[in-house]
Structure formats: structure tokens, C-alpha cells
């Protein structure tokens, strides 16, 4: 392959995937600037590995690289210890992701990691409310009473978390399915 066709092929991949990679990283990190940096790093590495430019290889590579870069970025910010000690238990996460096929165990683990990373990026109060609702099975009234908040405030926090998680999982499913 000559240099011009090599460049054109990479440009097509860049145009197709760069916005998706940047958006996925931004959702995980809640930072457009960090997402832009990660996306650029990933595409620099991809440029150096043209053997990965084929169909499914490039999508799988990009998904894995985003996940790894985000994880490393968070680890450098000392968040790793927070999510390791989080109160979520595996049983509850499996109920959320309900995959029964053993071949999907890898997908379950990836989704669980994405969920943990996403929840760790939330403000403390919002994460606490969501965990009380979803992992401790408390009603909105019980949460409001325990935290001395209005029921409407509790509902709003849960709504915002679910909205963010829905976006995250839609993007993750895109990378997993395609």
C-alpha cells in the first residue's frame, strides 16, 4: 500500500470513529478535554498499527483502548481505591445486566466495570442516593427520610444517574455489538 492510500484509509477510519471514541470517553470521564486527549492518544497508537485497521479489529481495538485509557486516567487520580471499596455487590450487578449465556460473561464484566467507573464519577450525594435506591432497594421516601431530603430531590438524582447510564450503555452496546 502506498503512502497516499495508507493515509486515506486512516482518514476514513478517523472520520468514522473519532467522534464515537471521544464521546464514549467523555461520558466515562465527564470531561470533554480529557476525552479529547484520550481520543487523540488512541488514534496516534492506531496510526502505528495498520494491521488493526480491518473491520471488527479496529472497532474492538478502539473500544478496548478507550476502556483502558479511561481506567488508567482514573487510577492516576486515585479513584481506583474508591471503586474497589464501593458497596456494590456482584449479585446486584448481575441482576442489572442479566446475561445467562456463558459466552456473554466477558460482556457482563465489561459492563460492570463501566458501571463502577461511571458511578465513581458521580457527585458523592448522587451516587449515595442511587446506590441506596438500586443496591439497597430502599424506596424514594426511605432515602429522603434517611438523608433529610425531599422525595422530589431524591427522584431527580436517580433520574439524572439513569439518564447518564443509559447513554453510557447505549454507546457500550454499540462497541460490543458492532
Alpha helices (H) along 48-150:
55-76, 80-84, 90-97, 105-120, 124-134, 140-147
Separation CA 152–CA 158 (nearest Å): 10
Q: What is the distance between the alpha carbons of residues 103 and 55, in angstroms, rounded to a whole number?
A: 21
Domain that holds residue 151: 79-178
d(CA 72, CA 68): 6
pTM: 0.48
Single out the residue in 48, 77, 106 at which a domain terminates. Answer: 77
Give the CATH number for residue 177. 1.10.10.10
Domain tally for the chain? Answer: 2
Give per-residue pLDDT as tens, 109-164: 777 777 787 888 888 999 899 889 888 888 999 999 999 999 999 999 988 888 88
Residue among 118, 167, 162 at smallest CA distance from 140: 162
Among residues 56, 77, 98, which one ends one of the domains? Answer: 77
Question: Could you tell me if 71 and 140 lie in one domain?
Answer: no
Give residue-wise pLDDT tens across range 43-85.
Answer: 888 888 888 787 778 888 888 888 888 878 777 765 544 544 4
Over the range 93-122, which residues count as b (16 or more CB within 10 Å of their CB) and which as e?
A: beeebeeeeeeeeebbebbbbbbbbbbbbb
Amino acid at each position: 500500500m502506498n503512502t497516499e492510500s495508507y493515509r486515506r484509509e486512516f482518514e476514513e477510519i478517523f472520520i468514522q470513529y473519532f467522534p464515537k471514541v471521544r464521546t464514549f470517553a467523555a461520558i466515562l470521564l465527564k470531561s470533554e478535554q480529557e476525552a479529547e486527549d484520550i481520543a487523540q492518544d488512541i488514534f496516534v497508537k492506531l496510526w502505528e498499527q495498520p494491521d488493526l485497521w480491518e473491520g471488527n479489529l479496529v472497532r474492538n481495538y478502539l473500544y478496548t483502548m478507550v476502556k483502558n485509557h479511561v481506567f488508567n486516567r482514573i487510577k492516576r487520580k486515585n479513584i481506583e481505591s474508591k471503586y474497589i471499596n464501593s458497596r456494590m455487590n456482584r449479585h446486584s450487578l448481575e441482576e442489572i445486566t442479566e446475561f445467562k449465556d456463558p459466552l456473554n460473561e466477558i460482556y457482563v464484566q465489561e459492563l460492570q466495570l463501566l458501571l463502577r467507573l461511571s458511578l465513581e464519577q458521580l457527585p458523592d450525594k448522587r451516587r449515595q442516593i442511587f446506590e441506596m435506591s438500586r443496591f439497597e432497594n430502599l424506596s424514594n421516601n426511605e432515602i429522603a427520610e434517611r438523608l433529610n431530603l425531599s422525595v422530589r430531590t431524591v427522584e431527580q438524582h436517580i433520574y439524572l444517574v439513569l439518564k447518564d447510564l443509559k447513554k453510557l450503555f447505549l454507546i457500550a452496546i454499540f462497541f460490543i455489538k458492532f
